[in-house]
A and B are shown apart, each in its own frame.
Chain A
Amino acid sequence: MTPLRRRLLFGLPLAAVVAGGAGFYTILRRMQSDQYDPHYLPSPLIGHRPPAFSLPGIDGAQGFSSTDIAAPPRPMLVNWFASWCIPCLQEAPMLGLLEKTGLPIWGIAYQDTAAALAGFLAQNGNPYQRIAADTSGLTAINWGVYGVPETYFIDRDGIVRSRWAGALTYQLIQEELNPLLAKYS
């Protein structure tokens, strides 16, 4: 066995182990700092308008339909939420902050009741300009919603530009939402 072969025989497996370790370490670090989520699913809706729908509001109030968000005067968020959803509680202060910046937020309540929603909004504030109720959850399936909360960024042409699954965080607003607002305002 030549010295080079001997060195390769020890060096190559060692290099493979080191590379694998570095890869796993990076994945874990990125998961810890919320930069990487292995459960993340890209939304097929990005680059398209949301599918046609028309939903009532809560307790006979006015809801909204796909035509109402087909050409908003400025970029907006459509936030899927529910009174029974814990991450939605965490997200409420963030939506409150965003509402104060003047960003229009429309809400769709997923599989909820009027009484529970009234309690939720009274307790956590109501950042929504309009609220529709998807009691059956069938509109959610057409949107590809697989959990609440989910937030869709819709530009002035009514096209979905981004979708966040899970609670919006300060980090997501800084790193993803603000650049989108700068681009599409």
Chain B
Amino acid sequence: MRAILLLLVLLPALAAAQIVTRDGITLTQPQEVRAEAIGDQLRCLVCQNESIEASGASLAKQLRVIIRQRVIAGDTDKAIMDFMVQRYGIFVLLKPPFMPLTWALYAMPFLALFGGMLIAWASRRNRVPAPPPLSEADRARLDELLR
């Protein structure tokens, strides 16, 4: 039992020590996971709807190598993203950052909601009120007419 417990405690350490090789770069499993998370957020400049991680283009492969080298060197995620943005512009980011150029983009859901509420409010206001219930005299006359 104690052996199994010890094994359970040590297993994550084993995972961390596992070595993988991607695009000719050898790194530990957690480093590879980090590198993939970064690459998934970057656009391949050659096939523009693919991420660097998913693309088969040779430039994407080179960029994957650079990401892994920088992960091994201990760079932060932000430093690696900045490295890419400095060279290729914000277009390289698959998720556009919040900045003056993208304000309209991020405001769009709220503008749509506001617009919808405005339309709903206007149509409620313009609704013709229901006619008052018929008086006794009216009802008698209606019965007369319908007979």
- Chain A interface (Cβ < 8 Å from any Cβ of B): 39, 41-44, 111, 137-138, 141-144, 146-147
Contact = CB atoms under 8 A, between A and B. Distances in A.
Interface stretch (B7-15, B27-35, B87-95, B105-113): B87-95
Contacts of A146: 45-46, 59, 88
Nearest to A140: B59
Closest 8 CB pairs of A and B: A146-B45, A144-B87, A44-B89, A144-B88, A41-B91, A39-B48, A42-B89, A146-B59
Task: Label chain B's interface by main secondary structure.
Answer: helix
Contact of A142 (B48, B63, B87, B91): B87
Contacts of B86: 44
Interface string B53-88: 000001100110010000000000000000001111
Contacts of B88: 41, 44, 144, 146
21 contacts: A41-B45, A41-B89, A41-B91, A42-B89, A42-B91, A43-B89, A44-B86, A44-B88, A111-B58, A137-B59, A141-B59, A141-B62, A141-B63, A142-B87, A144-B87, A144-B89, A146-B45, A146-B46, A146-B59, A147-B45, A147-B59
A146 B92 CA distance: 11
- The CB with the most chain B CB atoms within 10 A, among A41, A138, A143, A147, is that of A41
Contacts of B59: 137, 141, 146-147
Given A42-B91, A44-B89, A141-B87, 20 more contacts: A39-B48, A41-B88, A41-B89, A41-B91, A43-B89, A44-B85, A44-B86, A137-B59, A138-B62, A141-B59, A141-B62, A141-B63, A144-B87, A144-B88, A144-B89, A146-B45, A146-B46, A146-B88, A147-B45, A147-B46
